[in-house]
């Protein structure tokens, strides 16, 4: 595991983006995207670029909290897509994203998975307290929305204190997925879309009640420092459009509820 302090890793990522952006043309966009939305946004980005010859799109995938810190550190990002309102809210409060451009465009659902070859019977939340369940992975609640939702659910279910000694923290939801797929843990909290994207190595155990955690909402917004405001706005409008709904649904995402932002 990388022992470098997180603040230095964030600064290094921001610096690398700045260096990489130095020769950027007038037709380049950088999207910082919650990693759980990777495949869907890449597909939408491909169709967006296909109608704009000469446009280059670069992607920066990671946990929403780490991406937020990079933007706060000055990374040259044009569009931010978060897996939770919290990170977007904090950037908006600092005027680092354009409020008028913000759109909630998708929802997700939390699920608990286990290794495909697991012989441990995990079918309900209480089973996580079984002594045979030795390690449970969740995203780090400090920076990973999936981990924040998992903590909320476990607390609501009265299990947070009981499973503290079993928890393993991942840097993002896809790392949590990998831990389960490799059999390094007995169970893990991810999104249903992540479980569906992992074709082998995992199976769903159960889904925590959606009333045990806040709705998983994905907002997108133009970053205030963009030099490509019109293009960035156009992409945010695309992901929130009816045309994008079919792409998102194919990847397992649900439409946002009225009033979400």
Question: In the beta sheet, which residues pair with residue 112?
Answer: 189, 206
Sign for the CA dihedral angle at 208, 213, 214, 216 comes to negative
The CA distance from 210 to 248, in Å, is: 20
Q: Is 238 left (phi over 0), alpha (psi -120 to 50) or beta?
A: alpha
Would you state the structure tokens that stand for residue 261, as one six-digit string?
């932002």
Domains of the chain: 6-107+217-250 (3.40.190.10), 110-206 (3.40.190.10)
Q: Is the pLDDT of residue 159 over 70?
A: yes
Burial class (CB in 10 A: 0-12, 13-18, 19+), 58: middle
pLDDT digits (tens, 9 = 90+) for 49-58: 999 999 999 9
Mean predicted confidence (pLDDT) in 220-233: 97
pLDDT digits (tens, 9 = 90+) for 60-110: 999 999 999 999 999 999 999 999 999 999 999 999 999 999 999 999 999
pLDDT of residue 199: 86
Q: Give the pLDDT band of residue 26 (cuts 50, 70, 90).
A: low
DSSP symbols for 29-91: EEEEEEGGGHHHHHHHHHHHHHTSTT-EEEEEEE-HHHHHHHHHTT---SEEE-SSHHHHHHH
pLDDT, the chain, mean: 92
Neighbours of 12 (CB within 10 A): 13
Mean predicted confidence (pLDDT) in 188-213: 96
Q: Check: CB of residue 206 under 8 Å from CB of residue 124.
A: yes
Q: Is the pLDDT of residue 14 over 80?
A: no
pLDDT of residue 69: 98
pTM here is 0.88
């Amino acid at each position: 595991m990388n022992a470098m302090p997180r603040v230095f890793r964030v600064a290094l990522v921001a610096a690398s983006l700045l260096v990489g952006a130095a020769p950027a043309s007038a037709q380049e966009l950088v999207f910082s995207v919650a990693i759980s939305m990777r495949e869907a946004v890449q597909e939408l980005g491909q169709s967006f670029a296909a109608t704009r010859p000469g446009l280059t799109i670069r992607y920066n995938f990671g946990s929403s909290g780490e991406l937020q810190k990079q933007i706060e550190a000055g990374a040259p990002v044009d569009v931010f897509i978060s897996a939770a309102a919290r990170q977007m809210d904090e950037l908006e409060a600092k005027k680092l994203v354009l409020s008028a451009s913000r759109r909630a465009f998708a929802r997700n659902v939390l699920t608990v998975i286990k290794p495909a070859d697991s012989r441990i019977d995990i079918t309900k939340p209480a089973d996580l307290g079984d002594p045979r369940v030795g390690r449970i992975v969740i995203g780090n609640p400090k920076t990973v929305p999936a981990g924040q939702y998992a903590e909320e659910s476990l607390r609501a279910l009265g299990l947070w204190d009981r499973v503290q000694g079993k928890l393993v923290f991942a840097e993002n939801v896809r790392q949590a997925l990998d831990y389960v797929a490799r059999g390094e843990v007995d169970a893990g909290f991810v999104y249903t879309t992540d479980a569906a994207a992992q074709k082998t190595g995992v199976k769903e155990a159960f889904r925590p009640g959606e009333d045990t955690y806040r709705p998983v909402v994905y907002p997108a917004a133009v970053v205030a420092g963009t030099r490509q405001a019109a293009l960035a706005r156009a992409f945010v409008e695309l992901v929130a459009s009816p045309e994008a709904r079919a792409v998102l649904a194919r990847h397992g995402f649900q439409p946002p509820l009225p009033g979400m932002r």
